[in-house]
Amino acid sequence: MTGEPEPSSAGAQQALALYVHWPFCLSKCPYCDFNSHVRESVDQARWRGALLRELDHFAALLPRATVNSIFFGGGTPSLMPPETAAAVIDGAAARWTLATDAEITLEANPTSTEAARLEDFRTAGVNRVSLGVQALDDDALKFLGRGHDVAEARQAVALAQRIMPRSSFDLIYARPGQTVGAWRDELSEALSFADNHLSLYQLTIEKGTPFWRQARDGAFALPDDDTGRALYDLTQEIMEAAGFAAYEVSNHGRGGDACRHNLAYWRYDDYVGIGPGAHGRIAPAGEGRQATRQHAAPESWLAAVERAGHGTAETRSLDPDEQAREMLMMGLRLAEGVSEARLKGRTGCEPDRVLDRDGLTRLVEAGYLERRDGRLRATAAGRPLLNSLLIELLV
């Protein structure tokens, strides 16, 4: 795993992660509450142009930066023409310094048509792919509304591993009716062909999704919390035995592998978000850290960019306390936790200003939290309870 960056001194090159949102999907998955849309057709040239114009906009705000990672997320960015990805990657390199070892990830669906284009994405500069395999069970894939089956997914994984230097895939577990035994088998099968990284998510029902309505109406029920926890514990156990470190709540890497781009979020580094609904945390020269949010609806975003040169719907300054809370919220998801010196350095906030002293004491006594060697970290027992921990911990 890459090391945590040191607090940067003034005037130095800013470290930056770049997120690119491609909002289109062939169909919407019933569990997904991300900013995704189904459209008959997309004017690819306009979209490419708009993404580059947003790059211009942010490059003007942050003229001296080194981009360490680019992440194409969605939506389904593997539906994007590889030339668009190439244009954005080259565009970033032209406006900023693109680190020689920059991690450039593409989210992709494991269908045969999309897999067939991986070669072109590799040529465009992508060097890591994250496949939404989601399940190794055809019935489960149908339930999840996915457009692929297990055989197709395995072929896509194999192809990705051949073409890309690094790859990962996602699985969704704690599905309705899923037993501990079935998940053990499924995860073991996944490990038999995985590269060095896996993202393993418990199915959560988000408000406003079709799954939310179905669950509310009793069409299905998620496993109860005790089963959910048993599945989580089993996951940790199996992954650890296979040499995969749980470096984040739902992410596991072998031999130090980790998604460097996502680490930037969790470590509260600065990131630029372009494309509809993308979020950013940036610190333009002379200003404090800001939260940016782009227009979410694809057409509004496109129109705004073409009109104003950017699709930013909101820019909000974050005071030191807010930053510190955000940094703790994100950082405690990581096994490494949060360095208090770095927290102070990045946010300007003394950690104790945002920590509830009694809550902290209780959590440490209960073994959910550790505060030592200048770091605050959630223990293995505390991480699956992180929401409650944060409510207790943060002032």
Partner 1 sequence: MTDLARIRNVAIIAHIDHGKSTLADRLIERCGGLQKREMTSQVLDSMELERERGITIKAQTVRLAYRGSDGSDHVVNLVDTPGHVDFSYEVSRSLAACEGSLLVVDATQGVEAQTLANAYQAVDHDHEIVPVLNKMDLASAEPDRVKQQIEDVIGIDASGALEVSAKTGQGIETVLDALIARLPPPAGDADAPLTALLVDSWYDPYLGVVILVRVVHGRLTPRTKIRMMASGAEHEVERVGVFTPKKTLVDSLGPGEIGFITAAIKDVADCEVGDTITAVRRPAAEALPGFRPSVPVVFCGLFPVDSNDYERLRESLAKLRLNDSSFHYDAESSPALGFGFRCGFLGLLHLEIVQERLEREFGLDLVATAPSVVYRVTLTDGQELSLHNPADMPDPSRIRRIDEPWIHATILVPDEHLGGVLALCEEKRGEQLDLTYAGNRAMVIYRLPLNEVVFDFYDRLKSVSRGYASFDYRLEDYLESDLVKLAIMINGEPVDALALIAHRSQAERRGRALCVRLKELIPRQLFKIAIQAAIGGKIIARETVSPLRKDVLAKCYGGDVTRKRKLLEKQKKGKKRMRQIGNVEIPQEAFLAALKMGES
Q: How far apart are CA 301 and CA 321, in angstroms?
A: 31
Using CB under 8 A as the binding rule, whether residue 86 contacts partner 1 is answered as no
User: What does the per-residue mask of binding to partner 1 show for 101-140, with x meaning CB under 8 A?
Assistant: ----------------------------------------
Q: What is the CA radius of gyration of the chain?
A: 21
Q: How far apart are CA 22 and CA 183, in angstroms?
A: 32
Q: Which of 254, 279, 344, 375 binds partner 1 (CB under 8 A)?
A: 279
For residue 197, which phi and psi values (nearest 5 degrees)? -145, 135
Q: Which parts of 145-184 interact with partner 1 (CB under 8 A)?
A: none
**Which of the ranges 47-55, 76-84, 134-142, 319-327 carries the binding residues for partner 1, by CB under 8 A?**
319-327
Using CB under 8 A as the binding rule, whether residue 297 contacts partner 1 is answered as no
Using CB under 8 A as the binding rule, whether residue 384 contacts partner 1 is answered as yes
Can the peptide bond before residue 74 be classed as cis, meaning omega within 30 degrees of 0?
A: no
**Which of the ranges 47-55, 143-151, 157-165, 225-233 carries the binding residues for partner 1, by CB under 8 A?**
225-233
**Which of the ranges 129-137, 198-206, 234-242, 335-343 carries the binding residues for partner 1, by CB under 8 A?**
198-206
Q: How far apart are CA 194 and CA 158, in angstroms?
A: 9
Integer CA distances (angstroms), 263 to 8, 266, 327, 390, in order = 17, 5, 12, 19
Residue 131 CB coordination number (10 Å): 28
Using CB under 8 A as the binding rule, whether residue 335 contacts partner 1 is answered as no
Q: Which of 51, 126, 203, 324 binds partner 1 (CB under 8 A)?
A: 203
Using CB under 8 A as the binding rule, whether residue 362 contacts partner 1 is answered as yes
Given strand 338-339, what is the order of strands in its sheet? 338-339, 375-378, 369-372
Cβ atoms of residues 328 and 343 within 8 Å:
yes
Using CB under 8 A as the binding rule, whether residue 334 contacts partner 1 is answered as no
Q: How far apart are CA 252 and CA 238, in angstroms?
A: 11
User: What does the per-residue mask of binding to partner 1 show for 237-276, with x meaning CB under 8 A?
Assistant: ------------xx-----------x-xxx----x-x---
Residue 3 makes CB contacts below 8 A (sequence gap 6+) with: none
Minimum distance of partner 1 from residue 371's CB (angstroms)? 17
Minimum distance of partner 1 from residue 334's CB (angstroms)? 11
Per-residue buried b or exposed e for 78-108, using 16+ beta carbons within 10 Å of the residue's own CB: bbbbbebbbbbbebbeebbbbbeebbbbbbb
Q: Which parts of 7-46 interact with partner 1 (CB under 8 A)?
A: 17, 19
- For binding to partner 1 (CB under 8 A), which residues are involved? 17, 19, 73, 201-204, 225-226, 228-229, 232, 249-250, 262, 264-266, 271, 273, 277-279, 281, 291, 293, 316, 322, 325-326, 329-330, 333, 362-363, 366, 368, 383-392, 394
